[in-house]
């Protein structure tokens, strides 16, 4: 086998989520992060708020589907001061999220927002239902709980 004939594009025709060290700045803000998405040689460090691991193509691989859920869970945990975990994630239509209003300027039929219904469990065992929306236009997650947008993290940081 000719080792030089293997190109990066042939090897990585999918988005892959990596956890790296040392940390770098998120591509969208000044937060430091140790998570990045790589695609065919591109490297994109992303914080929990901006870090949705979308599929490379319209036919996601098993790993891409797994990585998508990992980034949703990462965002929810980050919103809760990096504690607890998700016990259930279900993909849903964004328009069915209580409190969510689609951006009027967004060409919704082309790139609709992604949404999930999640069940979050705090370390004490208490569970809560909430919703996560990924805005394609603003490239960031939003958390909805009790029919309203959650605009602050549990540790006090304003988004």
- Residue list 116-145, contact with other proteins (CB under 8 A): none
Closest separation in Å from C-beta 21 to other proteins: 5
**Which of residues 32, 33, 38, 61 is near other proteins by CB under 8 A?**
38
* Burial category of 59 from C-beta neighbours within 10 Å (exposed 0-12, middle 13-18, buried 19 and up): exposed
- Confirm or reject binding of residue 30 to other proteins (CB under 8 A): no
Element (H, E) at 8: helix 8-11
Closest separation in Å from C-beta 102 to other proteins: 30
For residue 22 the two structure tokens come to: 């040392």
Closest separation in Å from C-beta 137 to other proteins: 21
- Confirm or reject binding of residue 6 to other proteins (CB under 8 A): yes
Q: What residue ranges bind other proteins (CB under 8 A)? A: 3-4, 6-8, 11-12, 16, 18-22, 24, 27, 36, 38, 41-45
């Amino acid at each position: 086998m000719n080792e030089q004939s293997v190109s990066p594009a042939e090897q990585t025709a999918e988005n892959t989520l990596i956890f790296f060290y040392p940390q770098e700045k998120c591509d969208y803000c000044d937060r430091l992060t140790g998570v990045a998405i790589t695609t065919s040689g591109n490297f994109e460090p992303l914080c929990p708020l901006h870090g949705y691991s979308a599929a490379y193509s319209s036919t996601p691989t098993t790993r891409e589907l797994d990585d998508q859920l990992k980034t949703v869970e990462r965002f929810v945990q980050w919103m809760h001061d990096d504690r607890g975990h998700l016990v259930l994630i279900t993909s849903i239509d964004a328009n069915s999220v209580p409190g969510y209003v689609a951006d009027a300027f967004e060409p919704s039929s082309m790139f609709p927002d992604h949404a999930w219904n999640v069940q979050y469990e705090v370390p004490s065992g208490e569970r809560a239902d909430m919703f996560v929306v990924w805005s394609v236009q603003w490239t960031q997650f939003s958390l909805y709980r009790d029919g309203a947008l959650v605009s602050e993290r549990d540790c006090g940081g304003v988004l």
